């Protein structure tokens, strides 16, 4: 039998990003581009420079989240934390905010916080301006309004010299191109919020036939959380989204045939060999579960002893205070007896008293209180001594008559012993307390069986979570059917998988199986997985920035922004297709507005003429 697979949650805390000092190669001979992969799950930023002294990898990687605390009442103001400075997202789950709606940035105030964090940690002085070109990723078919607000933020707030926008999945496609790869292909990009099917023909995106599925890693994590919370209602609070994301990243896989895989899980042997047990944190100390009766009795005695000591200390303190006050009153009474009336009246004023009778009343009451306290202290000491004496076991006197019994009496007793042998009570033997066997660690385990395949399956079957959408396979077939057969054959020769949600084991085999079912008999196709589905978008953007650093193609300058508006886009091999805003012509409306005035003028100028 296979050993039980028990895995502990890492619950890793995010380490705050350090403030990096940029090297001299970043600014000389000219400022190099800054590449920012602005993803809805994670933001990655780094430099694009051919100089080997500059790292060719993202220097910053942090979650695209911000939390703004309300601040203490009467204390400091609200504090804003961004990305890895949050430490852990779970304690701040209800304060977390993201600038994204799905995969489109719409909250530009939060987006500004993310960019401030990037510039500050990379050592870029952003007070006056950021004099580095910016390469920024955006969503497929990004709305013009979103791009307009982003361009306004970059050009007006940060005073960047130029900026370039590109699609993250196309940058990944651009980075993974090989010498024998065709320029056309079908890109399947699955991220945190969305999944896209992007046809690429002759190196350019065919935006008219792009399709989006509003499902990704976020929906899979929420679905897995619901499944496990229904399965383990006793651990409702411990089943957090962060732990569900960890399960998805490390313990889930895509079934090549979902129904067939479910049939395998029905087998007890298959279940025992493949189930993953996630160990939740727990404490071995449960109230009253691991204490014997002697330990409980000892604990009660310790508590009683501690309480008695506390009461005795309080009585002694009260007795000392009352005795000091009584001594003071007796001293004042002695002043009266000695005839020192001036000092006596002055002392009465200090004591806030009016007459000698009131003084005598206070002395009698205080004396009585002191005597009662002394009696209580003596009684408490006697009780403690009695308890100590009573705790000793009494030895019963087994021979009250002494040893005066004769030999005949002993023999007569021995004769009657067999008659009463059955009625004599047996000596009670100590019975060991049988405690139920309870595995506390196993109670705090989550058994992952079919949940390992059910959560990732929603990308192929959105109906599992009640979504009225087509899955990846149906959408892929729908996109292919919009092309002639010749172009379909070209596209399926390079089906490219990228995005963080494509890292499940078995996804490539599942896509191959779906293509085999939808393509004609004996037709060929090829499925490729990105070398690094998460980081290839940044690497591709860096490759493009290094190649086009000195060219004008793909860069939007400040002059272009001022002349053509913030929604303007310069196309390149990894960009969206620019569709300008077509405003309706105002000439017909102006003519209609002038027509009543002309009619009024003609009627007033020539009242005798008829129209």
Annotate 182-241 with three-state secondary structure. CCCEEEEEECCCCEEEEEEECCEECHHHCEEECCCHHHHHHHHHHHHHHHCHHHCCCCCH
Taking alpha carbons only, the member of 121, 126, 118, 132 closest to residue 31 is: 132
Distance CA 482, CA 209 (A): 8
More confident residue, 223 or 552: 223
Distance CA 249, CA 19 (A): 29
Q: What is the residue extent of each domain of the chain?
A: 10-214+469-581, 294-383
The model carries a pTM of 0.72
Which residues 6+ apart lie within 8 Å of 432 measured at CB? Answer: none
Strand-pair partners of 36: 45, 136
What is the model's pLDDT at position 195? Answer: 96
SS3 content of the chain, % helix, strand, coil (to 5): 45, 10, 40
Q: The tokens of 12 are what?
A: 């890793």
Q: The tokens of 596 are what?
A: 């009543």
What is the model's pLDDT at position 291? Answer: 63
Pairing of strands 495-498, 134-138: unpaired
Strand-pair partners of 34: 47, 134
Distance CA 165, CA 469 (A): 29
Taking alpha carbons only, the member of 49, 36, 134 closest to residue 83 is: 36
Task: List the alpha helices (DSSP H) in 492-557.
Answer: 507-518, 536-547
The CATH H-level (homologous superfamily) assignment of domain 10-214+469-581 is ATPase, nucleotide binding domain (3.30.420.40)
Averaged confidence pLDDT in the chain: 84
More confident residue, 596 or 479: 479
Per-residue pLDDT of 193-242, as tens digits, reads: 999 999 999 989 999 999 999 999 999 999 999 999 999 999 999 999 99
Q: What percent of the chain has pLDDT over 70?
A: 82
E strand or H helix that includes residue 37: strand 34-38
Taking alpha carbons only, the member of 376, 383, 363 closest to residue 318 is: 376
Which residues 6+ apart lie within 8 Å of 345 measured at CB? Answer: none
Pairing of strands 495-498, 185-190: parallel
**From residue 596, how far is each of 152, 593, 599 by CA, in Å?**
41, 7, 5
More confident residue, 450 or 300: 450
Collapsing DSSP to helix, strand or coil, 358 comes out as helix
**From residue 408, how far is each of 129, 403, 414 by CA, in Å?**
121, 13, 10
- pLDDT confidence of 505, banded at 50, 70, 90? very high
Distance CA 134, CA 560 (A): 15
Is residue 433 pLDDT above 70, yes or no?
Answer: no
Q: Is the CB of residue 359 less than 8 Å from the CB of residue 331?
A: no
What is the model's pLDDT at position 201? Answer: 93
User: Taking the alpha carbons of 534, 237, 91, 93 in that order, is the dihedral positive or negative?
Assistant: positive
Strand-pair partners of 277: 6, 447
Question: What is the b/e burial string over 143-182, where b = at least 16 CB atoms within 10 angstroms of the residue's CB?
Answer: ebebbbbbbebbbeebebebbbbbbbbbbbbbbbbeeeee
E strand or H helix that includes residue 371: helix 356-390
What is the model's pLDDT at position 441? Answer: 84
Q: Is the CB of residue 2 less than 8 Å from the CB of residue 24?
A: no
Distance CA 244, CA 250 (A): 10
Which residues 6+ apart lie within 8 Å of 242 measured at CB? Answer: 11, 88, 89, 90
- pLDDT confidence of 372, banded at 50, 70, 90? confident
What is the model's pLDDT at position 366? Answer: 87
Collapsing DSSP to helix, strand or coil, 265 comes out as helix
Per-residue pLDDT of 146-166, as tens digits, reads: 999 999 999 999 999 999 999
The CB-based long-range contact list for 56-59 (8 Å cut-off, 24+ gap) reads: 56/542, 57/535, 58/535, 58/538, 59/20, 59/122
Q: Is the CB of residue 554 less than 8 Å from the CB of residue 561?
A: no
CA 496-497-503 angle, 5° bins:
155
E strand or H helix that includes residue 423: none
Q: The tokens of 399 are what?
A: 């021979």
Q: Is the CB of residue 35 less than 8 Å from the CB of residue 545?
A: yes
- pLDDT confidence of 308, banded at 50, 70, 90? confident
Taking alpha carbons only, the member of 78, 69, 91 closest to residue 14 is: 91
Per-residue pLDDT of 81-123, as tens digits, reads: 999 999 888 888 889 999 999 899 999 999 999 999 999 999 8
Which residues 6+ apart lie within 8 Å of 81 measured at CB? Answer: 66, 67, 68, 69, 92
Is residue 534 pLDDT above 50, yes or no?
Answer: yes
What is the model's pLDDT at position 456? Answer: 96
């Amino acid at each position: 039998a296979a050993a039980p697979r028990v895995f502990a949650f890492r619950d890793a805390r995010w380490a705050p990003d350090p403030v990096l000092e940029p090297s001299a190669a970043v600014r000389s001979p000219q400022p190099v581009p800054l590449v920012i992969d602005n993803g809805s799950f994670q933001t990655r930023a780094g430099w694009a420079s051919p100089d080997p002294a500059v790292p060719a990898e993202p220097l910053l990687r942090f979650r695209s989240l911000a939390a703004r605390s309300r601040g203490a009442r009467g204390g400091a103001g609200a504090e804003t934390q961004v990305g890895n400075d949050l430490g852990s997202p779970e304690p701040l789950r209800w304060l977390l905010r993201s600038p994204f709606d799905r995969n489109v940035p719409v909250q530009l105030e939060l987006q500004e916080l993310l960019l401030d964090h990037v510039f500050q940690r990379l050592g870029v002085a952003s007070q006056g301006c950021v004099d580095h070109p910016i390469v920024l990723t955006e969503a497929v078919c990004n709305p013009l309004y979103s791009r307009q607000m982003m361009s306004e933020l970059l050009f007006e707030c940060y005073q960047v010299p130029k900026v370039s926008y590109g699609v993250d999945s196309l940058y990944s496609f651009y980075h993974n191109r090989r010498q024998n790869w065709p320029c056309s292909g079908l890109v399947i990009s699955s991220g945190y919020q969305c999944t896209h099917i992007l046809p690429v023909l002759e190196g350019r995106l065919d935006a008219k036939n792009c399709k989006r599925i509003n499902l990704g890693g976020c929906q899979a994590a929420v679905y897995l959380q619901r499944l496990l919370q229904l399965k383990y209602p006793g651990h409702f609070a411990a089943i957090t989204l962060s732990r569900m994301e960890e399960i998805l990243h490390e313990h889930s896989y895509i079934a090549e045939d979902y129904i067939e895989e479910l049939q395998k899980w029905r087998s007890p042997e298959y279940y025992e060999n493949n189930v993953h047990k996630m160990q939740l944190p727990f404490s071995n100390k449960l109230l009253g579960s691991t204490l014997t009766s002697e330990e409980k009795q000892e604990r009660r005695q310790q508590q009683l002893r501690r309480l008695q000591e506390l009461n005795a200390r309080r009585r002694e303190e009260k007795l000392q205070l009352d005795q000091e006050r009584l001594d003071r009153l007796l001293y004042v009474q002695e002043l009266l007896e000695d005839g020192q009336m001036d000092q006596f009246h002055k002392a009465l004023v200090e004591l806030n008293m009016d007459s000698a009778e009131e003084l005598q009343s206070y002395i009698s009451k205080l004396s009585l209180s002191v005597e009662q306290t002394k009696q209580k202290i003596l009684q408490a000491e006697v009780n403690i001594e009695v308890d100590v004496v009573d705790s000793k076991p009494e030895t019963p006197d087994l021979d009250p008559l002494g040893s005066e019994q004769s030999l005949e009496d002993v023999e007569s007793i021995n004769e009657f012993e067999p008659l009463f042998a059955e009625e004599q009570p047996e000596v009670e033997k100590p019975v060991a307390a049988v405690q139920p066997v309870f595995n506390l660690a196993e109670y705090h385990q989550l058994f992952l069986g079919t949940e390992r395949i059910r959560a990732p399956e929603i990308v192929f079957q959105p109906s599992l979570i009640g979504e009225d959408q087509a899955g990846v396979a149906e959408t892929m077939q729908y996109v292919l059917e919009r092309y002639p057969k010749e172009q379909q054959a070209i596209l399926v020769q390079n089906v490219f998988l990228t995005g963080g949600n494509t890292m499940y084991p078995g996804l490539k085999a599942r896509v191959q199986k779906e293509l085999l079912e939808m393509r004609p008999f004996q037709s060929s196709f090829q499925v490729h997985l990105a070398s690094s589905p998460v980081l290839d978008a940044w690497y591709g953007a860096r490759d493009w920035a290094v190649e086009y650093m000195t060219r004008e193609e793909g860069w939007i300058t400040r002059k272009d922004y001022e002349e053509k508006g913030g929604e303007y886009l310069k196309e390149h091999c990894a960009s969206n297709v620019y569709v300008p805003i077509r405003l309706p012509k105002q000439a017909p409306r102006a003519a209609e507005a002038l027509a009543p005035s002309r009619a009024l003028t003609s009627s007033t100028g020539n009242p005798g003429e008829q129209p």
